[in-house]
Amino acid sequence: MLELEPKGYVLKINQQGFFDNPFTWDTISSQSQTILKKVVDMLLEDHKGNIDSIYVRGSFANNSRVDNYSDIDLIIIDMDPLVNLPSQVVYNNDTFRLDIELLSTEDILNRDKYFVTHFLLKTQSVCIYGNSRLNDILEFNASKQTASHFGRNIPKLIMKAKAVLLQKPEQLTGITQWIARAILRAGNALFLDKAKVYTRDLVYCYRYLIQYYPEYEPQLRVLVEQAITPTFTQKELFNFLDDFGLKFAEEIEKYFTDIPKL
C-alpha cells in the first residue's frame, strides 16, 4: 500500500471570496523556465503569426513536476487554427510530453462554454508568451455554482477510457492513470463550495473527499494508488469503473440536482 503524500497545491480564496492565482513566471524554477523557453521557441518557429499567447499550468507552473513523469500542460490562444504542433520537447536527454489545449481569441470571451479552461487560466496558469489575457477573465468564487462545472462528465470519460482500451489494450497503464486522475479531480465538485478550496493534487483531493464522504475511503485510496502506480488488469479496471466510478458520478449528480447541467 502506498504512503500518500501530496506533491501539489491547494488554491484558497482571498478576503473578497475569490480564488487567487499564486503563480507567476518568477515563482517557476529556473530549470523549468529554461525548458519552457525552449518549448516557446519550438512553437513560434512554425506558428508565430497565429499565436496570440501561451500559458503554462499544472506541475511546471506550480513547481511540483516529477522527472520522467510530468507532462508540460499548455493552453494556447490562437488567431487561426494551429496544426502539426509538436508533441514533446527534449531537454538534457529527458523527454517531456506536451499536453496542449487550444482556444481561439473568441473562445477567451466565452466563459459558459469553456468554463473549466477559463478557471484553469485565471487561477493557476502563467503567461509565458504574448500579452496576457488573464485580466480579461472574470474572478471565480467558491460557490456551489462554480463547483457544479466540475466532475459532471465522469460517465463520458469512463466510456472513452473503455472504448480506447477495447481498441488498444496495450495502453492499459496510461489509461488507468488518466481515468483515475480524472475521477479524483472531479471530486472538487463535492468539496469546493464546502471547504472553499480547489486542488488538482491527487492526495489533497483524496483527503478533502474523505472528510465529507468517509464511506468511500477505500475506493478513493485505490484511485490514488492506481493514478500513481497502476496495477489493474483491464477486467479489474472495467469492474471498478462500472461499480465505484458510476456510483461516484451519481453522487455528484445528486449533489447538483438543483443546478442544471450545461
List per-block mean pLDDT (blocks of 10 residues) for the chain, which spans 262 residues. 75 95 94 94 91 94 74 93 88 88 90 92 96 93 95 95 97 96 97 96 96 97 95 98 98 94 74
Q: Are 183 and 201 in contact (CB under 8 A)?
A: no
Cα separation, 220 vs 195, in Å, equals: 18
Q: What is the CATH T-level fold of the domain 11-141, as seen in this structure?
A: Beta Polymerase; domain 2 (3.30.460)
193-202: pLDDT as tens digits:
999 999 999 9
The residues facing 19 across adjacent strands are: 13
C-alpha cell recorded at residue 211 = 472528510
DSSP E strands, 31-170:
51-57, 72-78, 88-91, 94-104, 126-130
Which of 9, 32, 7 has the alpha carbon at shortest distance from 228?
Answer: 7
Condensed to tens digits (0 to 9), the pLDDT of residues 30-68 reads: 999 999 999 999 999 989 889 999 999 988 998 876 666
> What is the rounded CA–CA span in Å between residue 65 and residue 75?
17
- Radius of gyration of the chain measured on its C-alpha atoms: 19
Cell of 149: 462545472
Task: Please state the φ and ψ torsions of residue 11, each to the nearest 5 degrees.
Answer: -85, 135
